[in-house]
Every structure is written in structure tokens, then in C-alpha cells.
């Protein structure tokens, strides 16, 4: 099952895909009305709690950045202000010299997890969505330690469009993912290549923090990140989960 959250007519609605696969995207609101994809404002597809993000969780991406392998996950938290939905706009500041997308599988927690062993991890997963977690490399203190200025920027993390039930995805997920910029493929990978897989991450995180329903784990991005400019249309797609569209805008579009 796929579901979304959208704003339309002054209210927030639960929504589901409508029509044949491969056709024009339409959504059916919970009250039965059907609207085109562009008629609604897309929100993150669930009520988001704590945002837990992984850095350098694909070996090829770590190699791309000349970063040695790690014994423990590089984990950081993100502010709720960073989130926007499908078809949203993300700002590229005028002084940024290298800003890139990060296509990631996002794991959504379905029930509280504390001290969970990897063999029981699946029962704590509600589902999955697509994330695009932008980074501005020249704002980092160094290339390997994310900081607030990079990873909690307003509108810098795109989430959606759909929340796909965990039962509809093989466990553990081994899904192809790709990023297109203006229609050209610039990044490809598969979640089987995660350095720290999802069962490990749930065990690792729940050993020292309680994961709650609505918490989301952004699992990292593979190699293939390139600079994006204002006006670029960025699509992050994961097979079986969805295609997340986002557009880069300059300071003028945000009145800055």
C-alpha cells in the first residue's frame, strides 16, 4: 500500500495514487476527490518524529570522498525545519560553490524500539519512502563531519512522495536507486551495498536511544554526487518506493 499527505483547499488530506501505473500521476484524497499531481501541495508522507541520518554509508561514496572505512556508523540528527515534500523547491545560496543531492532510502519506524536485536528489527519498521538530503560541501567544517549549517538547512531535505508499507518490500530491502538531473542519470546504486544495513542500524540506534513511531532513518547515499545549479530539476527514484521530484532555486526566489 502507498499513501501520501497533501495540502489542498485549505486542509491537509491523506491521499493515495489513482490511475494506471505509468500514466499521468493523480491522487485520490481520503474524501474521494481525485486531483492531478500538480494541483496539490505535497507534504512529507507521514508525521515525522526524530530524523536520524547516516553519513558515508556506502563504501563507494566514502571512496569517492577519499574517506577510510569506519568501525561505527557516522550518525547525526536533523531539525524538522529541514523537511519539505515532493515537488518542493530547495534554495542554493549564492555563495555556495558545490551543492549536491543525496538519494537515500528512508526507513520509517512503526513501533517503539529499545534494545532491539537485528533479528527482530523488521517488526519495528512501518515502511519506506525516498529522501533527497542536500549538502553544501563548502559549508562543512570538513568533508566527514556533518554540521547544522549543512544538514539542518531550511528545506534542504526532501521526503516522499509515498510511504510504502514494509510488508510490500522484501527484507532486507535490496533496491536499485538512481538520481536524474534534468533528465540525465547522474547517480546509481543499490541498497544491498549499505555499509551498515537496516537491521544493524535499528539494533545499533535502539541500544542507546528509544526509536518511536514516526522516527525516520536516512540510510545514506551511493557515489555519483555532482554540483547542482538553480533551475535544475532533480529526481531521486528507488524501485518499488517512488520517484521524488525537487527543483533548485536561487536566493531571489526566496527573497534573500
State mean pLDDT over 153-164: 97
Same domain, yes or no: 36 and 65: no
Q: What is the pTM of this model?
A: 0.94
Residue 112, pLDDT above cutoff 60: yes
Residues 6+ apart with CB under 8 A from 23: none
Over residues 169-225, the pLDDT tens digits come to 999 999 999 999 999 999 999 999 999 999 999 999 999 999 999 999 999 999 999
**79 & 6 share domain:** no
Task: State whether 120 and 8 are in the same domain.
Answer: no
Give the range of the structural domain holding residue 91, as residue numbers without chain letter. 44-254
Q: Looking at the structure, do residues 19 and 74 belong to the same domain, yes or no? A: no
- Tens digits of per-residue pLDDT, 32-71? 999 999 999 999 999 999 999 998 898 764 455 555 567 7
Give the Å distances, CA to CA, from 167 to 25, 114, 185. 24, 22, 29
In a shared domain, residues 118 and 185: yes
Count of domains forming the chain: 2
Asked if 137 and 181 sit in the same domain, the reply is yes
Distance CA(231)–CA(90), nearest Å, equals 10
Cα–Cα distance measured from residue 107 to residue 128, given in angstroms and rounded to the nearest whole number: 5
Instruction: Round to whole Å and give the CA distance between 222 and 252.
Output: 31
Peptide bond preceding 161 in cis form (omega within 30 of 0):
yes
> Considering the chain, what is the average pLDDT of its residues?
92
- Do 54 and 37 have their domain in common? no
Verify that 16 and 134 share a domain, yes or no: no
Cell of 39: 494541483
Q: Which of 142-146, 147-151, 218-222 has the highest mean pLDDT?
A: 218-222
In whole angstroms, what is the distance from residue 243 CA to residue 246 CA? Answer: 10
Please report the pLDDT score of residue 145 as a whole number: 62
Q: 238 and 164 in one domain?
A: yes
Residues 20, 53, single domain; the answer is: no
Check whether residue 24 and residue 95 sit in a common domain: no
Amino acid at each position: 500500500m502507498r499513501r501520501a499527505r497533501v495540502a489542498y483547499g485549505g486542509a491537509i488530506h491523506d491521499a493515495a495514487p489513482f490511475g494506471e501505473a505509468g500514466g499521468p500521476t493523480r491522487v485520490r484524497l481520503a474524501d474521494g476527490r481525485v486531483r492531478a499531481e500538480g494541483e496539490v501541495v505535497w507534504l512529507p508522507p507521514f508525521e515525522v518524529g526524530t530524523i536520524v541520518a547516516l553519513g558515508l554509508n556506502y563504501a563507494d561514496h566514502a571512496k569517492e570522498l577519499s574517506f577510510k572505512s569506519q568501525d561505527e556508523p557516522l550518525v547525526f540528527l536533523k531539525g524538522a525545519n529541514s523537511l519539505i515534500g515532493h515537488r518542493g523547491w530547495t534554495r542554493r545560496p549564492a555563495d555556495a560553490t558545490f551543492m549536491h543531492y543525496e538519494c537515500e532510502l528512508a526507513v520509517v519506524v512503526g513501533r517503539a524500539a529499545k534494545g532491539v536485536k537485528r533479528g527482530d528489527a523488521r517488526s519495528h519498521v512501518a515502511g519506506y519512502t525516498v529522501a533527497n538530503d542536500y549538502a553544501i560541501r563548502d559549508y562543512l567544517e570538513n568533508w566527514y563531519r556533518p554540521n547544522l549549517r549543512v544538514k539542518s538547512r531550511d528545506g534542504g531535505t526532501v521526503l516522499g512522495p509515498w510511504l510504502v508499507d514494509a510488508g510490500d518490500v522484501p527484507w532486507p530491502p535490496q533496491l536499485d536507486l538512481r538520481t536524474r538531473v534534468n533528465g540525465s542519470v547522474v547517480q546509481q546504486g543499490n541498497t544491498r551495498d549499505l555499509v551498515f544495513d537496516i537491521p544493524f542500524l535499528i539494533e545499533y540506534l535502539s541500544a542507546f536511544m528509544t526509536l518511536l513511531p514516526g522516527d525516520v532513518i536516512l540510510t545514506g547515499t551511493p557515489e555519483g554526487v555532482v554540483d547542482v545549479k538553480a533551475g535544475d530539476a532533480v529526481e531521486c527514484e528507488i524501485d518499488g518506493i517512488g520517484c521524488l521530484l525537487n527543483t533548485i532555486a536561487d536566493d531571489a526566489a526566496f527573497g534573500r
